[in-house]
Amino acid sequence: MQLYAVIMAGGIGSRFWPRSREKSPKQLLKIFNDSTMIQDTVDRLKGLIDDDKIFIITNKLHREEILNQLPNLKAENIIAEPFGRNTAPCIGLAALLTKHQNNEALTVVLPADHIIQEKEIFQNTLLRAAEYANQSKGLVTIGIQPTRPETGYGYIQIEDEVNDNIFKVHTFAEKPNYSTALKFLESGDFFWNSGMFIWRSDVILEEIKKYIPDLYTELIELKSVLFTDKFDKKLLDVYGKIKGISIDYGVMEKSRKVFLTKGAFSWSDVGSWEEVYNLTEKDEDGNSLIGEVYTDMTNDSYIYSPDKFTAVIGLENVVVINTDDALLVCRRDQSQEVKKVIDYIKLKKQNKYL
């Protein structure tokens, strides 16, 4: 059994503005420590998957920076999509690439910008899931036990346990409203959809062929040019013709061989500054202060200002993000509204702030 990893790093995350920008999306930022989120994602695989079996699918804007951040990976394994087409094309492409290397490749698909705390449990989960995916020729997804009625995640409902910590999937559910999320939480059989998958590359390709045949037809055109200098041109051609579609909608919600394994590690997709605050160490005032920051009568706040002296007086539950050329001051529980700033910037054609 030969394990490969495919890290999906195509995000142009607008929720971390003004730190995340078109040129520096979330996965390329140092948010929690001195390494970037994609570096942490690769590091988390150490001991389980060799560096030369790690692929990264990214946007052409970011390939150069990823090469810089991850010098130990093989440059030819860092693949740049000409533009984003959602997850299904990305995953299909990744399956072609890994299958080309090893006809029986087992692939772990991981987003580049999640935070996972217990590496050992995480690796064990992947390994067990891979064994089951190999043996069953099924599609295994990792579900996270909900700890709160979160409305920001999709959910997956399980039914019977068919093997040790492997469950048949009953249904996929979109992001719920609060009362539905509460029901999901209370039911005990709904899990957060982490967007992490484990499968044989040949199996996911077959399922794409079955459920998104148009996509398969185009992708298979790439087979003869993989790892050649004709690849980029052909990829541009293929991406120009295919439709954007998510792997959940395109395959997972339809396939009859979908399983869920519970990930018993701390996990977050870190979807907002609020979530960054929650995941960051706080001082006795409940503040997380980055940079030279003076506070007075200020509590439960996240203040990021690495280059400018900053004073915050008399505020609670705020996020302050002070970068070279832009400033965000936001109520913490409104931090998901940051995406509207991006809309405004686009409207005003102030692209330098994107």
Site string for a copy of itself, 270-299 (x = CB under 8 A): ----------------------x-x-xx--
C-alpha angle 291-295-298 in degrees, rounded to nearest 5 = 125
Beta bridge partners of 21: 24
Distance CA 126, CA 132 (A): 10
Among 322, 346, 349, 351, binds a copy of itself (CB under 8 A): 322
328 touches a copy of itself by CB under 8 A = yes
- The 3-state DSSP class for residue 195 equals strand
Write out the two tokens for 61. 């804007």
Q: Pick between residue 252 and residue 321 the one whose CB is nearest to a copy of itself.
A: 321
Among 23, 243, 308, 346, binds a copy of itself (CB under 8 A): 308
Spatial CA neighbour of 172 closest among 154, 198, 197, 151: 154
Q: Pick between residue 213 and residue 306 the one whose CB is nearest to a copy of itself.
A: 306
The separation between CA 342 and the C-alpha centre of its own chain, rounded to angstroms, equals 20
Number of C-alpha atoms within 13 angstroms, CB side, residue 328?
Answer: 29
Residue type, 308: K
8 touches a copy of itself by CB under 8 A = no
Q: Which helix (H) or strand (E) holds 241?
A: helix 231-241
330 touches a copy of itself by CB under 8 A = yes
Q: Minimum CB separation from a copy of itself for residue 282, in Å? A: 18
Rg (CA), the chain: 21
345 touches a copy of itself by CB under 8 A = yes
104 touches a copy of itself by CB under 8 A = no
268 touches a copy of itself by CB under 8 A = no
315 touches a copy of itself by CB under 8 A = yes
Among 86, 101, 165, 334, binds a copy of itself (CB under 8 A): 334
> At 328, phi and psi to the nearest 5?
-120, 130
Judged by the rule CB under 8 A, the positions of this chain that interact with a copy of itself are 17-18, 292, 294, 296-297, 305, 308-315, 318, 320, 322, 325-331, 333-335, 337-338, 340-341, 344-345, 350, 353
